[in-house]
Structure 1
């Protein structure tokens, strides 16, 4: 059984990888900011759609890691190879559907989410290119999941680092030297992901899919696990979008401050998400060996390790909030709103890590449905409805919304912990 030090060493690359994946879209937005505000708006809107695709791939990758870790622990070589072929085939099929959707319906999608005139044209082009080649992101995620299931979290991290550096180089060259504009930003992203995908493919050993992977039957367990895991991710995404619509009702300055606060605190959640990736793998390995006591010990360790790391970052952000907010704005209401987000993000630390830890634990033992149901109830019944009641009817505004966010995480943490304890007690 791994020590706490070994767990941190195992998880750290996954934490960095989460951060690096987030930077790709931000890099494109930063680069096109030197073109025009329309370009910034177009890339930002298109990346909202790409983020949904990414959420689906993350769900698929999590389930691939869970199943792979179990098959490896069972030392079933044939099943490992079959799962590798099936996972790649599934990734390709899902990616093709997303790609076709992006190319054929990119314009109406961009229009629905608010793009108009020049922004609509630019967003359509960016979405058609990056979304049309989304298979590269899918393969990066799946190949990385194979490696993580083997205990190799460093290689996927380096691949994400490579993709970021190459994206900056290629995009900047195409934008500033060849004047390709938004098209240059999209092409830079595509080429960077292509190279990173090839790099990860070359690093695969026994997980290498065969040349005839498309003949492999789709693994039913993988599909049955991926669907609710994807639903859980999409519930989070849709719920967040609806909450944003609620925040907008409090005024543009409050909305801007909330956005600033969330931009600052997104770094706070990196340890929880990275540690959750490791929790899935460790729990899956022990579950295959029916080591229930080891599972419980791993859950306790990953929970406290992620809580401590998140708390340290949260305290730093809270203490530095005045300086950090000044990087974005000096407007009083926006600054106060950002302070609210930073404070409640800190207060929710132990609940957020609890939610992510037990969601990962259930996914590790092959139960993705319960986290999906719990997330859906929490997001819509507590975060959205209670947030609306507190924020609008009790006139608590943004504070009311964030009270509901904290209570949502508390509910999911307690519920999942009780259910997991009951399950492992049997």
Structure 2
């Protein structure tokens, strides 16, 4: 199995080399949610499309928590790999597996319990609530598969291998598209078919990564070095919990926005949902640069190459800003044709929903580079072992997003909710800039006293 040492060589070249396979993998992952939405919208109509939209932030609430936890576990793995600490690396691998198994069991049960009360709390319209509930019950039933894929992919990325997760996601995406068409168009299983296709595809992606890792010899139940001790579990939880909570905070802001949007009716929900799917697809490069930056910072911190971290951050932010401008052009120039792929029905209904969605895209396009800077800077700080400051930045996002959603519609109309997203990016960027300079000084100051002197303020 291929690994990649990011402690030597050109930062920009290393980050691009690492991020491109991740980007393709994330594009495939977003593409199959894109196809989910397109299949449901075309086959089942505007109400089913709105039902998917009502499920979107509840999906992120759970699966964002999963991704944040395993990303935190994997930061420790990247640091041990960068330090050349084989024994510590083995313990970190075992710790990530043990913690993920425990969390998967807990989330599987809790997820099913909270779904119906949350939909009631959010004021989901009665005409789509039933479809939204069954869709989410099936997705939440696949939580163990989501944990398995995200953990195994995070382990591979921590070791500098971004190609295997790409391969896994490519196979999984084509499987999902095939099953979407089969379950919805051929078997007529409705929205349940789209959810089942997603879960089965995640199972396939997890199996692919597991086979690759098993063949590497890094993980073995017979190897006593893979049995984590208490100190390792505490270190991984110290990083993983704030990162998981960070995503939960983001999701909570989204849920409040969703509750506001639910009050605007099914048509507004449908247009907003269609635009969000394109936004999610164009956001994938940002998350890829973020993963690359986290691994890069973690490995260089472990190797004591503190001087390279700042160089990598500058390179990643420049690359990200340029990429974001290209994505903004896609929103402006191709937004309407792409939105038309999701919405079907009466001409007046389609035009109204598309107008709502395109307005949202135009607002996002103007400020899109700030989203990319947010991803890169936050991931750099996390890679350096501090997950508290990024979590606080998510609280700022929560306040900005929900404040705008609750206040602006009364001042400038329903479209006021669109500006909450942009304000959330700007507020978080400002805090993260100060956080990076504060933490890099702490890292450099601790370097003269030994790495053990650096303690994350959590």
TM superposition shift of 1:23: 3.8
From 160, 172, 181, give the equivalent of 1:151.
160
Q: 2:290: which partner in 1? A: 276
- Label 1:102 to 1:42 Cα distance change in 2 as closer, same or farther (>3 A): farther
Q: 1:406: which partner in 2? A: 422
User: Following the alignment from structure 1 to structure 2, what is the Cα–Cα distance between the partners of residues 191 and 403?
Assistant: 36
SS at match of 1:210: coil
TM-score w.r.t. length of structure 2: 0.80
Matched, 1:384 2:366: no
Q: Deviations over 1:161-192 (max 9, x none)?
A: 21122233345445566666566555444443
Whether contact under 8 Å (1:258, 1:338) holds in the other structure is yes
TM superposition shift of 1:384: 2.1
TM superposition shift of 1:293: 1.8
Q: 2:24: which partner in 1? A: 16
Deviates more, 1:147-156 or 1:93-102: 93-102
Q: 1:355: which partner in 2? A: 374
What is the count of residue pairs matched by the alignment?
A: 423
TM superposition shift of 1:369: 0.8
Q: 1:346: which partner in 2? A: 365
TM superposition shift of 1:9: 2.3
Write out aligned runs for 1:199-218 (5 A): 199-204=208-213, 205-210=216-221, 216-217=228-229
Q: Deviations over 1:217-246 (max 9, x none)?
A: 461111111111111111111112212333
From 400, 419, 425, give the equivalent of 2:435.
419
| RMSD across aligned positions (CA) | 3.3
SS at match of 1:92: helix
- Label 1:34 to 1:197 Cα distance change in 2 as closer, same or farther (>3 A): same
User: Following the alignment from structure 2 to structure 1, what is the Cα–Cα distance between the partners of residues 353 and 192?
Assistant: 33
From 41, 47, 64, give the equivalent of 1:55.
64
Whether contact under 8 Å (2:297, 2:383) holds in the other structure is yes
Whether contact under 8 Å (2:405, 2:420) holds in the other structure is yes
Matched, 1:310 2:338: no
| Structure 1 residue ranges without an equivalent (≥5) | none
Deviates more, 1:77-86 or 1:244-253: 244-253
Matched, 1:222 2:236: yes
- Label 1:226 to 1:209 Cα distance change in 2 as closer, same or farther (>3 A): farther
SS at match of 2:398: helix
| Structure 2 residue ranges without an equivalent (≥5) | 1-7, 446-458
- Label 1:370 to 1:209 Cα distance change in 2 as closer, same or farther (>3 A): farther
Q: Deviations over 1:267-312 (max 9, x none)?
A: 3322111100100000111111232221000000111111111111
User: Following the alignment from structure 2 to structure 1, what is the Cα–Cα distance between the partners of residues 63 and 209?
Assistant: 18
Greater relative contact order (Cα < 8 A, sep 6+):
2
Q: Deviations over 1:45-73 (max 9, x none)?
A: 55654432220121123213321110001
Whether contact under 8 Å (2:122, 2:255) holds in the other structure is no
Whether contact under 8 Å (1:265, 1:314) holds in the other structure is no
- Label 1:181 to 1:342 Cα distance change in 2 as closer, same or farther (>3 A): closer
Write out aligned runs for 1:242-257 (5 A): 242-247=256-261, 255-257=269-271
- Label 1:397 to 1:250 Cα distance change in 2 as closer, same or farther (>3 A): farther
